[in-house]
Amino acid sequence: MISNPTPQRALRGHMPQRPTPRAATTGEHHAQLAGRLTLRDRWLARMLHEHKVFTTQQIVELCYPSMRAANHRLLDLFKWRVIDRFQPFVSSGTAPMHYVLDIAGAVALAYEDGLDPKKIGYRHEDAIGIAHSLRLAHTVGVNGFFTTLIALSRRPGARGRLTAWWSELRCGRLFGDMVRPDAYGRWREDGQQIEFFLEFDFGTEDLATLGRKLYGYEKLATATGITTPVLVWLPTNRRETTARRALSDALSQLDRPALVPVATSAADVAGMAGENNPAVARWLPVSGPPPHRPGRLRLVELAQLWPQTDPPSTAPSSTAVPAQQAPAELTAPDPFPPAAPTSRFRR
C-alpha cells in the first residue's frame, strides 16, 4: 500500500550546480564574487570561520529578517562555495540544515585580511568534518547561547547588546595554558557591562571535572589581574542543583575564591521552559555578596553584584587583533552584523 506519495514535481528538481574546489579558488571565480558578496555575506563567512557551524535558525537570529530571506541568500552562497551545508541524522523528525565555511569563503576572508589563503589553517575536510564530530551538538548549543543574545541586540529599541564573542578555539590560543572555556562574551545593557566565560554543560561531563576547572580560572585571574565571571549553563534544574554543590566545594578549596565569581542557570528554569534567553532573570550566583533582591538575576545584574570585574582600559576588544595571536590568524568578527544591503538586487 502506498501512502503519502512524493509529488512528481519534487522528483524533477536539480541539485544546485557548484564549482569544483579547484575552480572555487581561481582568480576568475573570485573576480565574480567581488561583485556579488555583500558586507553581510563576508561577515557571515567570518563568523563561520570563528564559530565553525550554525543552523539555519541561528543564521536568521544573526543577520536576517526572516527564514525565507535567509534561505534564498544561503542557497546563493552555497552555489558559489562560500559556505557548505549538511543535515545530520536525528532519530525522530528532521534536523535543521547546518552551515560551515567553504573553500571560496575562506580564500575571500584571507585576501580581505591580506593573508596567504594557505596559511590561515583552513581545510575543507576539517570544516565539513564537524558533521561527524561528537561535539557537534555541544558546539551548536554554545553558538545558540550567543545567537540568542545577538537576536536580542538586533531588536528595535534594544536595551542590550553583545559587544564581544570569542570562540573556544580563540580562547584556547589566548588562555589555553591555564583554562579553555567554551566561549568568552561581553554584554552591555543600560550602561552596565559584564564580561564572562561560558561553560556549557550538556549533562555528560563529570561534575568534579567541572569543579576542577575553577582552579584554572583562578590562575588566569591571578596572572592577568582581571576577574572575569564564569557562567555555567546546565540542561536541567536538577543538574544545576547538583552542579552548584560541586562548584561550591571547588570554590572553597581555592586560595582566592573571590577571583572566580560563578553563576549558574538551567534550560528548564521554572517559568522559562522553551525560552532560552540568557539575558533575563535566570542566573543564580554560587558565591559572593548577597544580591540586592532574592531570586534569580538578569545577566546585567551580575555586573552590579560583582563590580570588581570591570575590565581595565587595556582589555582586548572583539575587533582588535591581540598581540599574542599568530600572524596568519583572521581577526575576530564584531558579533553585531553590518547593515542589510539596501539594493533590491542584493539579498
Give the C-alpha distances (Å, rounded to integers) separating 233 from 144, 167, 326: 12, 16, 31
Q: What pLDDT was estimated at residue 12?
A: 63
- Angle at 186 (CA atoms; ends 285, 159), nearest 5 degrees: 90
Q: Name the grid cell of 228.
A: 572575569
Residues 209/174, Cβ–Cβ less than 8 Å: no
Residues 239/266, Cβ–Cβ less than 8 Å: yes
Integer Rg of the chain from CA: 22
Phi, psi of 41 (to 5 degrees): -60, -45
Q: What pLDDT was estimated at residue 274?
A: 53
Judged on CB neighbours under 10 Å (0-12, 13-18, 19+), 90 is: exposed
Average pLDDT over residues 240-244: 96
- Split at pLDDT 50, 70, 90, the class of 307 is confident
Judged on CB neighbours under 10 Å (0-12, 13-18, 19+), 30 is: middle
User: Which residues, 6+ apart, have CB-to-CB distance to 127 below 8 Å?
Assistant: 52, 84, 100, 101, 102, 106
Residues 79/66, Cβ–Cβ less than 8 Å: no
Residues 224/195, Cβ–Cβ less than 8 Å: no
CA distance 300 to 283: 10
- Beta bridge mates, 198: 183, 231
- Split at pLDDT 50, 70, 90, the class of 243 is very high
Dump the DSSP string for 51-68.
H--EEHHHHHHHH-S-HH
What's the mean per-residue pLDDT of the chain?
A: 89
Q: Which residue has the cell 540542561?
A: 235
Share of the chain above pLDDT 70, in %: 86
Average pLDDT over residues 241-269: 95
Q: Which residue has the cell 579547484?
A: 22
- Over residues 201-230, the pLDDT tens digits come to 998 889 999 999 999 999 999 999 999 999
Q: Three-state SS for 122?
A: coil
CA distance 267 to 106: 34
CA distance 23 to 30: 10
Q: Name the grid cell of 292.
A: 540586592
Q: What pLDDT was estimated at residue 312?
A: 38
Q: Name the grid cell of 33.
A: 564574487
- Over residues 178-194, the pLDDT tens digits come to 999 999 999 999 999 99
- Split at pLDDT 50, 70, 90, the class of 295 is confident
CA distance 135 to 130: 8
CA-closest candidate to residue 148, choices 274, 285, 46: 274
User: Which residues, 6+ apart, have CB-to-CB distance to 301 below 8 Å?
Assistant: 281, 283, 291
- Over residues 12-71, the pLDDT tens digits come to 666 778 999 999 999 999 999 999 999 999 999 999 999 999 999 999 999 999 999 999
